[in-house]
């Protein structure tokens, strides 16, 4: 049997290609280039090259022919398309970008979460102890890792790694632990906000205390009724603040553990010694939030004067009609324009509402050491009413102040190596259980506390919850829907088809 050189070269080419493929497959299975795998691939490459050299004339002749040229064009075109797709995939991998089309941004991290993760100063790891992967949690963890370079995630089967489960005292499947150094938190849920709160707990050195003054008819910090602050109390604790009510008369000073002092609309005037304590607290670099409702006198005239802040003896009315979209009236002004300040820098497209609010502005006396910002501006169709009688109000030129009217002021000044901060808002109802969930009210209050507590990294728009978009129909509407969708529309389609068939028959 005669075997010519061309047949030998073809056989060598086939064997060489097979050896290269075998070496690559073994590499993928074993995960490394062993000496045998490498030798197999090199020998295959040598045989393939020898086959090309021995059969070069036939190969060159093939490519000079019409079939060869068409084949070459097809191969080059395929390689070009593959290269372009590869480039797009590489760019997509290196520059990951997702588009969330839900109205609430349910599948994107909130601005607050991104800030916290990107600003981590310590390594943080989340471990999920379970047998199977939770795809929803896995997707969320991918977003966390993309936002924070010092964050990592791992799922561990406690049966396969009982030593790790014992190390973190895991008692059951499904437990989640958040770890930073020697600090461990065990969130009960794996929602974005719960995990972010746990991360804040394990990375922050200490919890700051927000003190609410009571004894003068202020809002009830833990109250669950419409006028209470129970929702705000829970929100502050979810951001890892401690909250407590204090009585300045009994304590005889602002307690040293108070990072921020809040006066939530005292109905009765503070005693002079209480006002002096608050003034002293600010003069020593303290932080204070005053919410002053209309027709009340908190008794802080000297403190406000020293900070060049003026509270109006009025009630702001807004007749723009925008409030009707949210079920409110003229006595609940809407704010959509904000001063340039860290508290409101992320709220440009968010409205806030203030039920029965008075004006607050920066005074005329210049105080160079104080940095002041008028924070909350109502619409042009508003005014500050000085003589509100019952449910009737009209603008009186010369007496009332034409809108836009300012409703809040922030002020700060350096005192040695500290910075005193003071925020005054002409309303307390915007943060009550009844109104705190309306538009941006919750974010405004929490951002204000964040700024006063010097936690600017927490200032952002919080995660949103899904809007209930279910449709509720009466019994008659359900019957109409049934007859329309189940009977009328199918019969209409069948009838149209029958009519067309009859005309063409």
pLDDT of res. 221: 95
pLDDT of 296 reads 95
Quote the pLDDT of residue 1. 47
User: How much is the average pLDDT of 471-488?
Assistant: 79
Mean pLDDT value across residues 123-129: 95
Domain ends where: 94, 124, 152?
Answer: 94
Question: 365 and 448: one domain?
Answer: yes
> Interior CA angle at 454 toward 425 and 436, to 5°?
40
Model confidence at 70: pLDDT above 90: no
Sheet of 376-378, strand order: 352-353, 334-338, 376-378
**Token pair for 194:** 């719960």
Predicted local distance difference test score (pLDDT) of residue 376: 96
Q: Which run of H or E residues covers position 311?
A: strand 309-311
In the predicted model, is pLDDT for residue 487 greater than 90? no
What mean pLDDT, rounded, does the chain reach? 85
19 vs 177: which has the higher pLDDT: 177
- 368 in the same domain as 273: yes
Distances (CA, A) of 197 to 26, 270, 446: 46, 36, 14
**Which domain covers residue 39, as residue numbers?**
5-94
122 or 88, higher pLDDT: 122
What are the φ/ψ torsions at residue 77 (nearest 5 degrees)? -65, -45
Percent of the chain with pLDDT over 90: 46
pLDDT digits (tens, 9 = 90+) for 249-279: 998 999 999 999 999 999 999 999 999 999 9
Q: What is the pLDDT of residue 464?
A: 56
Q: For 54-82, what is the mean pLDDT?
A: 70
Residue 141 lies in a domain: yes
215 and 291 part of one domain: yes
Token pair, residue 24, equals: 């690559």
Q: Output helix, strand, coil percentages for the chain, rounded to the nearest 5.
A: 40, 20, 40
Alpha carbon distance 442, 437 (integer Å) = 6
- Give the pLDDT mean for 456-478: 65
Average pLDDT over residues 107-128: 87
pLDDT grade for 342, boundaries at 50, 70 and 90: very high
In a domain, 398, yes or no: no
Distance of CA 404 to the CA centre of its chain: 30
Residue 207 or residue 130, greater confidence: 130
Q: Which CATH number covers residue 150?
A: 3.40.30.10
Whether pLDDT at 397 is above 80: yes
Q: Does residue 75 surpass a pLDDT of 80? A: no
Angle (nearest 5°) at CA 261 between 352 and 231: 45
What is Dmax (Cα atoms) for the chain?
120
Taking residue 169's Cβ as centre, other Cβ atoms within 10 Å add up to 10
Please give the tally of structural domains in the chain: 4
Q: Which of 83-97, 328-342, 424-438 has the lowest mean pLDDT?
A: 83-97
What is the distance between the alpha carbons of residues 383 and 477, in angstroms, rounded to a whole number? 45
Q: Is residue 133 part of a domain?
A: yes
Q: Which of 71-85, 204-218, 487-501 has the lowest mean pLDDT?
A: 71-85
Question: Looking at per-residue confidence, does 452 or 505 come out higher?
Answer: 452
d(Cα 413, Cα 420) in Å, to the nearest integer? 5
Q: Are residues 442 and 479 in the same domain?
A: no
- pLDDT tens digits, one per residue of 208-220: 999 999 999 999 9
Please give the average per-residue pLDDT across 276-298, as a whole number.
96
User: Residues 191, 304: one domain?
Assistant: no
Has residue 71 been placed in a domain?
yes
Per-residue buried b or exposed e for 213-246, using 16+ beta carbons within 10 Å of the residue's own CB: bbbbebbbbeeeeeebbbbbbebbeebbbebeeb
Q: How far apart, in whole angstroms, are the C-alpha atoms of residue 36 and residue 23?
A: 8
> 32-46, 86-100, 412-426, 470-484 — which is least confidently predicted?
86-100
pLDDT greater than 80 at residue 466: no
Please tell me which residue, 177 or 205, carries the higher pLDDT value: 177
**Residue 39 has which token pair?**
């030798």
SS (H, E, C) 213-245: ECCCCCCCCCCCCCCCCHHHHHHHHHCCEEEEE
**pLDDT interval class at 79 (50, 70, 90):** confident
* Same domain? 118 vs 235: no
């Amino acid at each position: 049997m005669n075997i010519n050189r061309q047949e030998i070269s073809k056989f060598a080419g086939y064997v060489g290609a097979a050896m290269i493929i075998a070496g690559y497959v073994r590499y993928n299975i074993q995960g490394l280039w062993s000496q045998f795998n490498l030798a197999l691939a090199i020998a295959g490459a040598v045989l393939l090259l020898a086959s090309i050299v021995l059969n070069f004339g036939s190969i060159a002749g093939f490519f000079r022919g019409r079939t060869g040229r068409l084949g070459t064009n097809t191969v080059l075109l395929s390689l070009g398309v593959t290269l372009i797709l590869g480039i797009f995939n590489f760019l997509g991998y290196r520059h990951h970008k997702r588009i969330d089309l839900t109205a609430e941004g349910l599948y994107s991290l909130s601005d607050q979460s991104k800030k916290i993760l990107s600003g981590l100063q310590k390594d943080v790891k989340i471990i999920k102890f379970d047998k199977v992967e939770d795809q929803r949690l896995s997707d969320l963890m991918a977003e966390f890792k993309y936002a924070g370079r010092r964050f990592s995630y791992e799922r561990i089967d406690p049966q396969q790694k009982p030593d790790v489960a014992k190390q973190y005292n895991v008692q059951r499947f499904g437990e989640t632990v958040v770890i930073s150094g020697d600090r461990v938190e065990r969130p009960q849920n794996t929602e974005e906000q719960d995990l972010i709160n746990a991360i804040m707990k394990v990375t922050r050195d200490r919890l700051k205390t927000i003190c609410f003054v009571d004894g003068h008819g202020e809002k009830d910090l833990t109250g669950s009724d419409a006028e209470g602050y129970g929702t705000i109390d829970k929100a502050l604790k979810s951001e890892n603040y401690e909250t407590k009510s204090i009585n300045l008369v009994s304590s005889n000073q602002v307690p040293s553990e108070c990072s921020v002092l809040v006066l939530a609309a005292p109905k009765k005037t503070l005693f002079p010694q209480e006002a002096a304590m608050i003034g002293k607290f600010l003069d020593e670099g303290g932080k204070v939030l005053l919410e002053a409702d209309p027709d009340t006198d908190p008794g802080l005239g000297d403190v406000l004067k020293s900070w060049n802040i003026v509270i109006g003896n009025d009630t702001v009315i807004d007749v723009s009609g925008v409030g009707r979209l949210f079920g409110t009236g003229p006595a609940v002004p809407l704010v959509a324009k904000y001063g340039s300040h860290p508290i409101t820098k992320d709220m440009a497209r968010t409205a806030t509402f203030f039920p029965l609010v008075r004006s607050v502005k920066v005074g005329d006396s210049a105080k160079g050491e104080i940095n002041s910002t008028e924070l909350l501006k109502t619409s042009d169709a508003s005014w500050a009413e000085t003589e509100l009688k019952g449910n009737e109000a009209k603008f009186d030129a010369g007496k009332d102040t034409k809108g836009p009217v300012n409703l809040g002021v922030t002020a700060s000044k350096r005192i040695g190596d500290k910075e005193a901060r003071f925020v005054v808002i002409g309303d307390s109802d915007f943060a009550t259980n009844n109104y705190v969930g309306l538009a941006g009210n919750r974010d405004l209050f929490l951002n204000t506390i964040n700024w006063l507590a010097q936690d600017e990294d927490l200032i952002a728009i919080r995660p949103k919850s899904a809007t209930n978009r279910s449709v509720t129909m009466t019994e008659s509407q359900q019957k109409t829907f049934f007859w329309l969708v189940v009977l009328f529309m199918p019969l209409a389609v069948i009838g149209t088809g029958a009519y067309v068939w009859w005309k063409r028959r």
